Amino acid sequence: MELEALNDRFDLLVTKRSVEDSFPVVKNILLLDSEGKRVAVKYYSDDWPTNNAKLAFEKSLFAKTMKSNARTEAEITMFDSNIVLYKFVQDLHFYVTGGEDENELILAAVLQGFFDSISLLLRSNVDKREALENLDLIFLCLDEIVERGMILETDANVIAGKVAVNSMDPSAPLSEQTIGQALATAREHLTRTLFQ
């Protein structure tokens, strides 16, 4: 145990590469319900190697933050040498975690982008039921915000736009592709009726 601690020290001495210093890194994005259970989560860091470690983190984070009022403005706290930003709406709790030395306002932009794009995609019915019914949109949304810790996009309109193009919702905005598809179906329908 002793030697392990020493080796850790030498790790620090030997490896000087520090990625965190070069660009902002998001460690995880969480969407929990009002009891702290997972709706959708995404981890980008090795800080929590097992599912149990992740669950433990979510549980204690939820316990620490549940009483705070993060409904009008996003709130922030230090937690296990991480910075966590969070915002609640209805029975949904949104979290974004970054390293201790991260620029808080960059993480805030990520949280805002996540929160707003979900609101856009769920058409303002932001609650757990609606979220679970559109879980595919939420997974896609997470995929568009951060790729393995690197921020991809923080503008909610752009994020929601990218996700909605692919959504199966018939009332989603029509893009070029869907027009093409609509024409194809129409043509198919026409030929079928003609041949009858």
Interface with another protein (CB under 8 A): 2-3, 5-7, 9-11, 13-15, 21-24, 37-38, 40-41, 51, 54-55, 68-69, 73-78, 85, 103-106, 108-109, 129, 132-133, 135-136, 139-140, 143, 147-148, 150-154, 162, 165-168, 177-178, 181
Task: Using the minimum distance from each CB to another protein, give the nearer residue, 51 or 171.
Answer: 51
Q: Which residues of 75-108 are buried (b: 16+ CB within 10 A; e: fewer)?
A: bbeebeebbbbbbbeeebbbbbbbbeebeeebbb
Taking the complex as a whole, the smallest distance from the CB of residue 80 to another protein amounts, in Å, to: 10
Q: Are 128 and 34 in contact (CB under 8 A)?
A: yes
**3-class DSSP state for residue 97?**
strand
**Dist CA 89 CA 91 (whole Å):** 6
Task: Using the minimum distance from each CB to another protein, give the nearer residue, 58 or 120.
Answer: 58
Taking the complex as a whole, the smallest distance from the CB of residue 83 to another protein amounts, in Å, to: 9
Task: Using the minimum distance from each CB to another protein, give the nearer residue, 177 or 191.
Answer: 177
Taking the complex as a whole, the smallest distance from the CB of residue 57 to another protein amounts, in Å, to: 12
Q: What tokens does 32 get? A: 């929990």
Contacts of 121 (CB under 8 A, 6+ apart): 134, 137, 138, 141, 160, 163, 164, 167
Taking the complex as a whole, the smallest distance from the CB of residue 135 to another protein amounts, in Å, to: 5
Task: Using the minimum distance from each CB to another protein, give the nearer residue, 10 or 195.
Answer: 10
Taking the complex as a whole, the smallest distance from the CB of residue 177 to another protein amounts, in Å, to: 6
Q: Which amino acid is at 30?
A: L
